[in-house]
Amino acid sequence: MNLRRVWILLLVVCMLLSSGCAVRVVEKPGASAPVIAVQDTPSPEPTPEPSPEQSPTPESTPSPTPTPEPSPMPSAEPTPEPTPEPVSAEYRRGLYSFDDLSYERPDYDALSAEIEDIRTMLTDGTDSETIRDAYDILSEDLNVLNNAYSLASLFSAIDVNDEYYSAETEAIMEKFSEFQVLVTEMEVEIYESEHRDVVFSDWTEEDFEYLRIAEKLYDEEYVRLNTRLEELINAYWDAQSNTTFTYRGEEYTLAELDGLNVNETTYYSLMNDYYRNLNAVVGELYLELIGIEKQIAAKAGYDNYVEFSYVYEYSRDYSPADALALAEAVKKYAVKEMEDLYSSFTSMEYTGLMQALNATDQIFRRKEHIDAYVDEISPEMREAYNYLMEYQLSILTDSDTSQAGAYTTYMPVYDLPFIYLHENGGYMDISNFVHEFGHFYCHYLGGWDSANLMSLDVKEICSQANELLFLPYYHRYNKLDTYNGIVKYQMIDALDSLINGCLYDEFQQYVFSHDISTVEELNEVFRTISRSYGIGDDDYYVDLGYVWVDVMHNFEAPMYYISYATSIVPSLEILEISLEDREEAIRIYNEVVRSDPELTFSETLEEIGLGSPFDEETIVKVVNAVVDLTGVGKHVKVG
């Protein structure tokens, strides 16, 4: 196996996403003033002041979080890592609880020395089998980097003010790019030596192709470009935290807006000022980031960053053109249903939804329903759930100093999947937990291979379809109106993944393949593309052109967003099947979870018999499923 695959995990740690922007308008039934609803916001969260009858305001979904401030000095001594023990027959993965996990800084020098030794062996008469063994051991040992990264980011998420772990997380990232250079140099030497056929005997044509790209890409200049990218990402998060607006001669952060007690018109006008200031700073950073990514793609031998990212960074088996075709189908068939859903809430549904969105301690209080759901899905899911509970393999926290959002990680040295989840309150804590538990379940069964090799798009079916299959359980402890409100809200969330997944991909495809030199041009591109999805200037409280700054993936993971759209389509198809035959839907879901992680996204769908998201018929089918489930809107037809 090509060592390049060792690096992939960093890119694809599930970022519980949710797309869109905090400041989108939803009609409240029976009231003229809109309230804020839905979606993902980087902190600080721009929540407008609700008028008395609108209270309570819905919580937004969790957002990915600011990278903590780097610190040059460790604030705590690392403790030694326990020696991994063999997995017991009872559970399939490592038997460590959270308390057993301790961070140890990787021995970078030892890893470098291992690489140096292999290079020496290539010319000192060592036989090929011995070199192959050394190469395989190195491949295992490099997992220490992934493990350390997972742990340091976890500890850093638990307390974002912990300077030691945030510095360690950054340091490991930097080391990754240096090791990419060293490993590539070594692999090129192996390739050019007489030992190639033995050492690379299991390499596929794709592995060799990646090596050819890596050879061009990874060098000192790459490390320099990559370091600059990291700096830009940090500057993005700094801007998110530190941008201010001016009111009566004083500077305020967005978090201070609520305390100003201004009327509604002033409130939104100040919010717009904030976004204008943020957009001006973030836009300049983005222009530089685009330039650097283009240089990286050019180094790798690609004319176009978009193509490079799809193929090399995400190993996708569909093209940017396929994604644009999906976007056209989404505009044609899905946008209207989204609009209909937004304005479909009855007063009772709305009131019930607001209560559900403000309920507290839901994961704990609804445990019996999560338990019942787990039993319904499969004995293996029950096993994974028992494992999670017995070994405490999740951190659920509502601490102010913990990172927002949620993700599931994997620590290869411990052979351990792990969930991190920040509770915002509201029923969505449950859906977020169920989402992450879908990843956990998949990694529990498939281990490191599923965590490391499975395509991002397939991974997100494991989580998103899990959320959708859980839907009927909300009926068990909610009144019918509340349940209907929740179902509509979840369908808005699903269509939002579909629509924004396409919208942001289209935006990124455009800006990464054109010469854009001003922030205003970026904003205008975003306005134009948004309007093509039926999004008007009135749909946001702030200038439509500023809205993109809230989506951190633009910085942290360009070209990632389309995976939200491609994976929600098969997930909705599983939901569609469940409306007629729930058992069959669950069977298909379990097949996805157990699918061969080496298969590509399209191969997996084909093997399981799910439709391609690039086929208009599939989009029509899933939109109609949303119509059937909610009773809102009209069926669509291909053509």
Applying CB under 5 A, which residues contact Zn ion?
A: 14, 463
Minimum distance from CB of 552 to Zn ion (Å)?
15
DSSP 239: H
Min CB(142)–Zn ion separation in Å? 25
Q: Which is nearer to Zn ion, 61 or 463 (CB)?
A: 463
For residue 30, give the amino acid letter. Answer: G
Of the pair 13, 271, the CB lying nearest Zn ion is at 13
- What is the residue type of 538? D
Task: Kindly state the smallest distance separating residue 251's Cβ from Zn ion, in Å.
Answer: 37
- The minimum distance between CB 438 and Zn ion, in angstroms, equals 7
Could you tell me if 47 and 258 are in contact, meaning their C-beta atoms sit under 8 angstroms apart?
Answer: yes
Q: Where is 422: in which H helix or E strand? A: strand 416-422
Q: Which is nearer to Zn ion, 524 or 556 (CB)?
A: 556
How many whole angstroms separate alpha carbon 407 and alpha carbon 64?
Answer: 9
Measured over the CA atoms of residue 329, residue 335, residue 340 and residue 345, the dihedral's sign is positive
Which CB atom, from 459 or from 527, has the smaller least distance to Zn ion? 459
Alpha-carbon distances, residue 502 vs 304, 435, 613, 623 (angstroms): 19, 21, 12, 15
Residue 407, φ and ψ in degrees, nearest 5? -160, 165
Cα–Cα distance between 149 and 172 in angstroms, integer?
A: 6
Please say which residue, 67 or 463, places its beta carbon nearer to Zn ion: 463
- Is residue 61 classed as helix, strand or coil in its secondary structure? coil
* Closer residue to Zn ion (CB): 57 or 590: 590
Cβ closest to Zn ion, residue 20 vs residue 46: 20
* Three-state DSSP state, 491: helix
Shortest Cβ 323–Zn ion spacing (Å): 19
| Rounded-to-integer distance, Cα 512 and Cα 163, Å | 34
Nearest residue (CB) to Zn ion, 14 versus 229 = 14
The CB-of-633 to Zn ion minimum distance in angstroms stands at 27
> 261 in the Ramachandran plot: left (φ > 0), alpha (ψ -120 to 50) or beta?
left
Contact 128, 193 (CB under 8 A): no
Helix/strand/coil percent split, the chain, to 5? 65, 5, 30
What's the closest the beta carbon of residue 468 comes to Zn ion, in angstroms? 13
CB of 16 to Zn ion, least distance (A): 5
Longest CA–CA span in the chain (Å) reads: 83
